[in-house]
Amino acid sequence: MAGGGKSGGGDYWPGFVDALTNVVIAMVFVIVVLAIALSFSAQILAKRMAAKIAEQQAELGRARQALIAPAAEKEKPAAGAPPQVETQAPQRTRIAVAGNEAPLAASAAAAKVRPADHYLQLDFAPGALTVDEKAAKALADALAPLKAQLLASPSSRLEVVALGPEIHLSENQRAAFIRAMAVRNELLTQGIAGDRIVTRIDMKASAPAPAVAVRLGEKP
């Protein structure tokens, strides 16, 4: 009877092993199914993000064309109309900046500066991040009206605003920030106090070429 009790007590072990094996197999199957599902979901999400980015770029291109077309129509003179003569002094001074990085800096066009009272714009060559010596001299010559207005109005300040193409991309934002800081350093060199200068990147405007605007504003 004792022997019969021992042999009967060991019968549960094979069943336990079979049940545990089935549980492990089921868990492995579930994990494999989840991994496959996550892989497909990641691919679908990547395709959707790529399509959304392409759609946003297409919308940006259409908006850019919509802005350019009316301006071109306005500038086109009517048939038989007399030529228009500019009677007011321009309000924007444009300065070409070749930079010190690119090999083509030496062959870049000379800076063209016209007198203006409220607005300077430094047009940077592609790849240029710093202000070359010629552009720095042109900036110094064009700053005289702005300096006079800063001295006359303690509440005024100079706003240094960086612009550029595809400004929503982080790499272009970093380049725009470097250009804005280079212009700010030139303004400090010209004797303008740091607390009278405000530097920022215009995230809403997408310019056709990299540029930095220097304009007169008021302290908040």
- Residues 16-25: tens digit of each pLDDT: 888 899 999 9
Provide the pLDDT for residue 82.
52
Provide the pLDDT for residue 34.
92
**pLDDT bucket at 33, cuts 50 / 70 / 90:** very high
**pLDDT bucket at 10, cuts 50 / 70 / 90:** low
How far apart CA 110 and CA 97 sit, in angstroms, is 9
Provide the pLDDT for residue 101.
59
Provide the pLDDT for residue 71.
55
Provide the pLDDT for residue 36.
92
**pLDDT bucket at 115, cuts 50 / 70 / 90:** very low
Q: Tell me which fold the domain 93-218 belongs to.
A: 60s Ribosomal Protein L30; Chain: A; (3.30.1330)
**Calculated CA dihedral for residues 29, 30, 36, 38, nearest 10 degrees:** -160
pLDDT cut 70: percent of the chain above it: 73
Does residue 116 contact residue 152 with C-beta atoms inside 8 Å?
no
* Domain segments of the chain as ranges: 13-67, 93-218
- Residues 81-98: tens digit of each pLDDT: 554 444 344 466 677 777
The per-residue pLDDT of the chain, averaged, comes to 76
- Residues 142-185: tens digit of each pLDDT: 888 888 888 888 888 888 988 888 877 888 888 888 988 999 99
Rg of the chain over all Cα atoms, to the nearest angstrom: 33
| Residue 5 scores a pLDDT above 60 | no
Q: Mind giving me the DSSP string for the chain?
A: -HHHHHHHHTTHHHHHHHHHHHHHHHHHHHHHHHHHHHHHHHHHHHHHHHHHHHHHHHHHHHHHHHHHHHHHHHHSPPTTPPPP---S--S-EEEEE--SSSGGGTTSPPP-----SSEEEEEEPTT--S--HHHHHHHHHHTHHHHHHHHH-TTEEEEEEEE-TTTTSHHHHHHHHHHHHHHHHHHHHTT--GGGEEEEE-SS---SS-EEEEEEEE--
Instruction: For the chain, report the end-to-end CA distance as a whole number of angstroms.
Output: 100
Arithmetic mean of pLDDT, 57-73: 71
**pLDDT bucket at 73, cuts 50 / 70 / 90:** low
Provide the pLDDT for residue 105.
42
Quote the pTM value: 0.49
